[in-house]
Structure formats: C-alpha cells, structure tokens
Structure 1
Amino acid sequence: MSGILYGTGTGPGEAELLTLKAVRLIRSCDMIAVPVSDSTLKEPCIWEEGMPYLDRCAAYQIVLPEVPEIRKKPVLCLPMPMMKEKEELKRIHDAGAKKVEEYLDEGMNIAFLTLGDPSIYSTYLYIHKRVQKDGYQAVIIPGIPSFCAAAAALNLGLAENKEEIHILPASYGIEEGLKLSGTKILMKTGKKMPYVKETVKASNDRFWMVENCGMENEKIYENPDDVPEKSSYYSLIVIKEGS
C-alpha cells in the first residue's frame, strides 16, 4: 500500500505557532521532506551528516525544538531553486515528485515541511499537484499564514466590515495591485521595495513591514524611509487605506 504525502505548514517562524495536528503528523511520519533553494543541490537526495541544507531550512528549524525526534528520521532534500526559467523548473519539480513517489511506493508516509501555509505561494504545491496527478494520496495540513502572524505582531486588524484584503506576490508586479481598495498584503517584495516605498509615500496610506516574523531577529517598520533597500526574504508589507 502506498504511503501518504502530507504538505505540512509549519507557520511563520515561531515554534509555538505550530499546530497540534502538524506536530502529530510530523511525529508519526516515516520521512521528512524539505525544500532546498541552495544552488549547490542539483538533484533530490537523502540528507547526510555534513550537508548544510537542514541548518539553512527555516521550516525544519522551526519544528526541531518542538519535535526533536525528527533528528532520527530520514530527510529527503528537494531542490527548489529561486528562478523563473519554466522549462528548467519543470524538470526539477518533475524529478522531485518522482523521488517522493519512490518512497511512497515503499509505503512511507512523508511530511513535507513548508513555511506558513502550504496553500499560499508554497513550493510544496509543485510536488503536491504532480503526486496527485500520478494517483498518489497527498494531503494539505494548514499552518498559520505569515500575514496573520504579522498582523498579530503589529497588533493590527487586517480587515473589518466590508474592507477587502488583497494578497500580492510583489516580485511579479504590483503596480495595478497597489491601486486596489482595502488592505494590501505584499509578499516577496524583493527588488520592488524602492517602488513600494515611493508609492506609499505619495499616498495617504498607512504602511507596516514585518521582517522575519516570529523569529529571533524579527523587526517591525512603520515608516517606509526606515526600511532598508535590501531586506530579508522573509519580509511582509501591510498597506491600509487612509492616514
């Protein structure tokens, strides 16, 4: 009987924000899978002592204090490079899914660890869709989304009454999105940071940015001028209409 793949959301960064369900499934699974953006990893592999990938995997490090027994589980490292070349990404994701399926065929249940929630801009979805298409069982285990944790860190409500919420992947263009009414949540701002800062300064909108939410080096900015041009990948911006 084939195993089950669990796309497991680990929340935004604070170990205590792991759900009870995520902890239970991670403990019960036979194998852990993690995404690796490090360009030195070219093909899927089982982690071995001396490899740097787990130290750099935020999702794995979030889980470790609450579920230390994962140290004893085999970890499948899956290349997930940050690139936009569609054909190369397709090859990489296809290879990752096939490797996952090999272990599912052995009857192993696999917990794929992913930051935040697996349904929101998650690398896990590339594997999830392929595995499901090939007839295997894949289940999404929700996690607390980064923007909900950021709102809590800001002690801020994201929407009330008829207010709209718009979640924008900023690295893919935000010019039109910033014109929308209601609350705008910008994820993966990256190179768009200068544009965002200037746009907000020219409006009456309120601005907040949470960097590394829930992590030891969390920082909160409420003035666009204070935001560094190069902020962490784990940075999230909230923009609300009005002064």
Structure 2
Amino acid sequence: MNGTLYGIGVGPGDPELITMKAVRTIEHCEIVAVPKTGDGEGVALQIARGAVPNHLENKKIIELYMPMTRDKFLLNKNYDESAKVIAQLLKEGNNVAFLTLGDSTIYSTYTYIHKRIIAMGLAAQFVAGVPSFCAVAARLNVPLTEGAQPLHVLPASYKGAESGLDMRGTKILMKTGKAFDEVKQQLKARGQMKHAQMVQKCGMEGERVFCNLDDADDGASYFSVIVVKDEGDEA
C-alpha cells in the first residue's frame, strides 16, 4: 500500500506556533523531507526540532535541494527530481512529511512537489500552518483587517506586484529580499511609507521590528514581511 505525502506548514519561526495537527502528522510519518537551499540545516527543520525534539530522533530525514533561483528550467529540473525521490518512498509504503515555512499553501516550494505527486496518481495532502504575515501582525500588535477592509498579499520582488499597492485595504508585501530599496521607493511615491511597518525573521533568532522602513538596511532579509495599512484604516 502506498504512503501519503503531507505538506506541513511549521509556522513562521517560533516553535510554539506550530499546530497540534502538524505535530501529530510529523509523528505519524516515517520520513521527514526538508528543502535545502545551502549549507547548514534548513529553517523549517530547526523549527520542527524546537517543537517536537523527541519525535525526530528516529525519523529518516532527507534533504531535497531547492536552489534559490528564478531560472524555470533549473527549478523544474529540481522539482522533478525531488518528486521522483518522494514518489519512490511513497511506493515503498512510507508516509512522508515535507516541512515548509509558514503555511504550505502560500508561496511554498511544497506546492510544486504536491502537484507532481498528484499527477503521478499518488496521495498528497496540505497541512495548514500559521502564515508569516499573521505572526508579523501579532508582533506589530495591529489588526490586518476590520469590517469590510480587503487584504492583499503581494510577492513584492516580482514584476507587476507594485500595482497591488494601489488597491484599497491592507497590503502584505512578502518576498521583498533584494528588491527592498525598490519597494521603499514605490511606497514613498504613493505616500505610504508612514503607514508601513516591517518585521524581519519574525519569531526567529535575530528578529528585528521596524516601524520606519528607512531604519532598515537596503539588503533586507529574505524573511521580511511588510504591512501597509490604508490611511483611512484606523477607526
């Protein structure tokens, strides 16, 4: 009997924000798969170790290389290879927990593996996690929405994302990274800087909170989330 692949969102960084369902699913799986982008242990695995240290000791942990690039050919090649590795494990009857930051349905590498496994006729399920922007709003002590206010989640470093800044409601800017300086310029051009706040590495070691984005270095961390509230959002 084939096993099941679970895409588990382990939350944004604080091990206390991993869900009980995520913990139970990790315990249920024989194998834990983690995306690897460079040297050292991945952040998602570190979070899981902090939340369920006694349940990973006897698990087989496999690392799947996921390069930090936008080269579609290279990305698809690695997604295909990773999916084949996982598919073989599932066919051998193993349940596999694929750990991913935040929530597994939001800008997650897991999504690409999930689609490939489903296309192979094998079982794969999403396991929801706490999204980074929810943890960031809690850290900033601000609500994201009230009443009929819309919420927009934007991949800030991607072409065309800046058009989302013109929409009414709260804007969440993710994936700022190397485009941080450009994002600031876009906010300044719209008079939105005074309504923007940012948290880097929320819930992780080295967390930093910025109520003024000009206080942040231009080389913002990859783990940076900006919250922009409309001028009329305050009740």
- Whole-Å separation in 1 of the counterparts to 2:186 and 2:74: 35
Q: Distance between the aligned counterparts of 2:59 and 2:8, measured in 1?
A: 16
- Is the contact between residue 200 and residue 224 of structure 1 (CA under 8 Å) also seen in structure 2? no
Q: CA deviation at 1:204?
A: 4.0
Partner of 2:48: 63
Q: Which of 162, 180, 185 lines up with 2:148 in the alignment?
A: 162
Asked if residue 221 in structure 1 is aligned to residue 210 in structure 2, the reply is yes
Whether 1:147 aligns to 2:133 is yes
1:118 is aligned to 104
What's the offset of the Cα at 1:195?
Answer: 2.0
Counterpart position of 1:182: 169
Aligned length: 228
- Partner of 1:175, secondary structure, is helix
| Partner SS, residue 199 of structure 2 | strand
Matched, 1:195 2:176: no
Residue identity opposite 1:59 in structure 2 = A
What is the identity, as a one-letter code, of the residue corresponding to 2:71? E
* 1:149 aligned counterpart, secondary structure: helix
Between 92-101 and 68-77, the greater mean CA deviation after superposition: 68-77
Query: What CA distance in whole angstroms lies between the structure 2 residues aligned with 1:8 and 1:175?
Result: 30
| Superposition deviation, residue 91 in structure 1 | 1.4
Cα distance in 1 between the residues matched to 2:47 and 2:170: 29
Aligned with 2:168: secondary structure? coil
Gaps of 5+ in 1: 39-51
Q: Distance between the aligned counterparts of 2:101 and 2:179, measured in 1?
A: 22
Deviations 1:43-100 (A, max 9, x none): xxxxxxxxx542xx11100111221131321111111111112122111111110110
- 221-230 vs 170-179, which deviates more? 170-179
8 Å CA contact 2:199, 2:209 repeated in 1: yes
- Any residues of structure 2 matched to 1:1-243 within 5 Å, and which? 1-38=1-38, 52-54=39-41, 57-68=42-53, 69-173=55-159, 174-205=161-192, 206-242=195-231
SS, match of residue 173 in structure 2: strand
State the distance in 1 between where 2:32 and 2:220 align: 30
Q: TM-score, normalised by structure 1?
A: 0.90
The 1-side partners of 2:186 and 2:121 are apart by 47
Q: Please tell me the residue identity of whatever aligns with 1:198.
A: Q
Query: Tell me, which stretches of 5 or more residues in structure 2 are unaligned?
Result: none
1:222 and 1:73 map into 2 onto residues whose CA distance is 42
**Alpha carbon RMSD of aligned pairs, Å?**
1.3
* Secondary structure in 2 matching 1:121: coil
Question: What percentage of aligned pairs have identical amino acids?
Answer: 48
1:204 and 1:241 in contact (8 A); partners too: no
Secondary structure of 2:12's counterpart equals coil
SS in 2 for 1:71: coil
Equivalent pair of 2:156/2:183 in contact (CA under 8 Å): no
